[in-house]
Structure 1
């Protein structure tokens, strides 16, 4: 399953977030979570990533690693192709 992971930095943690990112290169996700892409908002301590995982424990562990400096919003998403199939099935059932 694919997810959009959005984060917003806590203003009091900006220096800590910068130091950790520089030290870890952004700490890639653990086994069980595949990062498909990550983007950062210019001039803000926020951004988003698209990840793929069927392992909620691994997803939780990953965001908990950064939970002291960011708040997170994680949304399940589907592709156009997956949506098209779901819509076709819905229309067929009418």
Structure 2
């Protein structure tokens, strides 16, 4: 399943975030997560990633690695095709 991961950091965390990112290269996610892409906002401590995982356990572990610097929102994501199928099934029930 795909998920949209969004993060936000407080301005007071900027130095810690920069140091950790430079040291770890952004710390790739643990086993069980495939990162499809990651984007960062310019001039802010925020960004988003699209990931795939069959379990929430590795997502929780990954968020804990950065939880002292960022807050996270994780939402299930569907493609246009998947949404179209769901909408078609919904409309067929009416």
Category of TM-score, reference length = shorter chain: over 0.9
What SS does the corresponding residue of 2:87 show, helix, strand or coil?
helix
1:1-94 residue pairs with structure 2 within 5 A? 1-94=1-94
Which structure 1 segments of 5+ residues have no match? Answer: none
Question: What TM-score does the superposition give when structure 2 sets the normalisation length?
Answer: 0.96
Please give the root-mean-square deviation of Cα atoms over the aligned residues, in Å. 0.7
Which structure 2 segments of 5+ residues have no match? Answer: none
- Give the Cα–Cα distance (whole angstroms) in 1 for the partners of residues 8 and 60 of structure 2: 16
Question: What TM-score does the superposition give when structure 1 sets the normalisation length?
Answer: 0.96
Q: Which aligned segments of 4 or more residues in structure 1 are displaced greater than 6 angstroms?
A: none
The Cα of 1:77 is off from its aligned counterpart by 1.0
- Give the Cα–Cα distance (whole angstroms) in 1 for the partners of residues 87 and 18 of structure 2: 43
- Give the Cα–Cα distance (whole angstroms) in 2 for the partners of residues 10 and 58 of structure 1: 24
- What's the CA shift string for 1:40-81, capped at 9, x where partnerless? 000111100000111111000001100000011111110000
